[in-house]
A and B are shown apart, each in its own frame.
Chain A
């Protein structure tokens, strides 16, 4: 995709919406914004942006409600979750609803534009924090593995997630593991798919307290 991706912003904080618009500048095309779930669903299905930047925490169900409502009618629209929240269960639940990535609000403008571009191209965007959550979620040894293709990460996927958690960009990961950037993206997309489809106990009902081994 060479042209600029179109972006719709959903966040209940006016300051944040205008801030993001300013930060993104003309690296993307912002086609609208909304501050509540119902209005967001209506405008998104009308304007059909490439990517919706959606806040995890909002009244009336939050980003999850928006994703579920829009995906039902427009499965082609992609979502990138953004929040200030640290709570693992919130982030995982938005990803499982269908978001293709998660970034924190402290992300810089260029980084955010890059993340949006990647989501628009169909890739997954993992912040270090999300990578940590995912490693934690798939680590529990006591949960039953029903479908090994979905309920377990491969060693390579684990390795990639660890490097993301350590703060490596995809390009740096590729160099370090001596694979192509495309392969890194494939691994991350596979992890995202497992995260969304696995029926593992920990993923659906996240244990609020950290594992203490």
Chain B
């Protein structure tokens, strides 16, 4: 096993069959986990020492908190995180069964009437405890702001019910086999009465505890959200405001800062998702516009109608549109450029328009690569069309048209 720099003993969350005691010990002592398991199994038959020891460890040794990052990765056992090895589990069950049969054969047997019910009850208890353990782990995970990893409530309920039923069966079985049915019924009724009485007495307390817990959790979530908001505002808005004050005499810089901050805050507030929209035409054009805005301190408004997944052809449209925006920002001498993207069936159209100085398309030198190569050439190569309309004093509009490959 890997050496850990943390020398506290924890129960293992990854390498476990029942509660992770053996796994934790193995990690701590740097011994093969199988040896420890065998040792516990052997000890279990020396008057049950192994079982008692195991239970003691389970009760005393805490689970390793924060399964995510803090725990050293279980090296050498890749792909074994969390899930106990099914083969190991089966082997252990078979081994246990074998040992039980052997012991029975040797005559060291307390009697069927005693052992089987106890075994059933023990398994039930193990299931319930194990569940409680997992809930604890889920709480840690949740408080570490991991996405909710809690098991579905149904699974929890089923497990709990199975555990309770097993324990019940064990107890009833034991009572019946020891004292006969009548005594058992009487005993059970007494127990039931006691349980109901206890529930009545302590019920309100439990209820309040549960409610307090829920309240506390809500308060914590709220506080966390507020802290996050404050942190975000501090990192972004306050910093930008400070920068703006420092550059108050440079209007273009101020405008650029304000614009970039606005964009960033908008993305954050309206959750304009970066993750799910990355591959679409409208997002790509918006991203290109943002870049050009930053580089050339010009406002670029993008209006998009419809959208489409990005492919090679549409990527070419985006690149051509970006070039058109750069030209407008650099040469038109305006503060605002309007971009319109429309996807209509197979047809994709992008317009980039400014109300700037304009130029006479006929008189443009062939070596002005910006327009002829990056825009017109690029569109033609990909099977599209680029039209540049401009005249001196009337602004410029670049129209890009592309037919989309069938979806």
Mask of A7-37 contacts with B, CB within 8 angstroms, 1/0: 0000000000000000000000000000000
Distance (whole angstroms) from the CB of A200 to the closest CB of chain B: 16
Residues of A within 8 A of B (CB): 84, 86-87, 106, 128-129, 131-132, 135-136, 139, 162, 165-168, 210-213
Q: Which residues of chain A are within 8 angstroms of B280 by Cβ–Cβ distance? A: 210, 212
Alpha-carbon distance A162/B351, docked complex (angstroms) = 10
Quick check: A129 and B307 within 8 Å, CB to CB?
A: no
Task: State which size class the interface on B falls in.
Answer: 20 to 34
Cβ-closest chain A residue relative to B267 = A86
**Known A128-B301, A162-B340: A213·B266 in contact at CB below 8 Å:** no
Q: Is B315 an interface residue (CB 8 A)?
A: no
Q: Which residues of chain A are within 8 angstroms of B303 by Cβ–Cβ distance? A: 128-129, 131-132, 165
Quick check: A128 and B305 within 8 Å, CB to CB?
A: no
Q: Is B338 an interface residue (CB 8 A)?
A: yes
Quick check: A213 and B308 within 8 Å, CB to CB?
A: yes
Cβ-closest chain B residue relative to A211 = B306
**Known A86-B266, A87-B270: A213·B306 in contact at CB below 8 Å:** yes
Quick check: A165 and B340 within 8 Å, CB to CB?
A: yes
Quick check: B282 and A128 within 8 Å, CB to CB?
A: no
Alpha-carbon distance A84/B340, docked complex (angstroms) = 19
Q: Is B397 an interface residue (CB 8 A)?
A: yes
**Known A86-B266, A129-B301, A167-B353: A213·B307 in contact at CB below 8 Å:** yes
Alpha-carbon distance A193/B262, docked complex (angstroms) = 32
Q: A166-B340, A210-B280 are in contact. List 4 more A-B contacts (CB 8 A).
A: A132-B303, A136-B306, A210-B306, A211-B306
Q: Is B251 an interface residue (CB 8 A)?
A: no
Alpha-carbon distance A84/B270, docked complex (angstroms) = 12
Quick check: A210 and B307 within 8 Å, CB to CB?
A: yes
Q: What 8 pairs between A and B have smallest CB-CB spacing? A: A167-B338, A132-B303, A135-B305, A166-B340, A166-B351, A165-B340, A167-B353, A210-B307
Alpha-carbon distance A167/B305, docked complex (angstroms) = 14
Q: Is B309 an interface residue (CB 8 A)?
A: yes
Distance (whole angstroms) from the CB of A101 to the closest CB of chain B: 16
Q: Which of B280-327 contact A (CB under 8 A)?
A: 280, 282, 299, 301, 303-309
Q: Which residues of chain B are within 8 angstroms of A162 by Cβ–Cβ distance? A: 340, 342
Pick 19 A–B contacts, CB within 8 A, sort by A: A86-B266, A128-B340, A129-B303, A132-B303, A132-B340, A136-B305, A136-B306, A139-B305, A139-B306, A139-B344, A162-B340, A165-B340, A166-B351, A167-B338, A168-B353, A210-B306, A212-B307, A212-B308, A212-B309
Q: Which residues of chain B are within 8 angstroms of A210 by Cβ–Cβ distance? A: 280, 282, 304, 306-307
Alpha-carbon distance A136/B340, docked complex (angstroms) = 12
Alpha-carbon distance A48/B280, docked complex (angstroms) = 47
Q: Is B152 an interface residue (CB 8 A)?
A: no
From A86, A135, A212, B342 is in contact (CB under 8 Å) with: A135
Q: Which residues of chain B are within 8 angstroms of A211 by Cβ–Cβ distance? A: 306-307
Q: Which residues of chain B are within 8 angstroms of A212 by Cβ–Cβ distance? A: 280, 307-309
Distance (whole angstroms) from the CB of B84 to the closest CB of chain A: 41
**Known A86-B266, A210-B304: A106·B299 in contact at CB below 8 Å:** yes
Quick check: A132 and B309 within 8 Å, CB to CB?
A: no
Q: Which residues of chain B are within 8 angstroms of A139 by Cβ–Cβ distance? A: 305-306, 344
Distance (whole angstroms) from the CB of A82 to the closest CB of chain B: 16
Q: Is B407 an interface residue (CB 8 A)?
A: yes
Distance (whole angstroms) from the CB of A196 to the closest CB of chain B: 20
Cβ-closest chain A residue relative to B307 = A210
Q: Is B343 an interface residue (CB 8 A)?
A: yes
Alpha-carbon distance A166/B299, docked complex (angstroms) = 15
Q: Is B197 an interface residue (CB 8 A)?
A: no
Quick check: B397 and A166 within 8 Å, CB to CB?
A: yes
Alpha-carbon distance A84/B345, docked complex (angstroms) = 31
Alpha-carbon distance A87/B397, docked complex (angstroms) = 27
**Known A128-B301, A135-B342: A166·B353 in contact at CB below 8 Å:** yes
Q: Which of B214-257 contact A (CB under 8 A)?
A: none
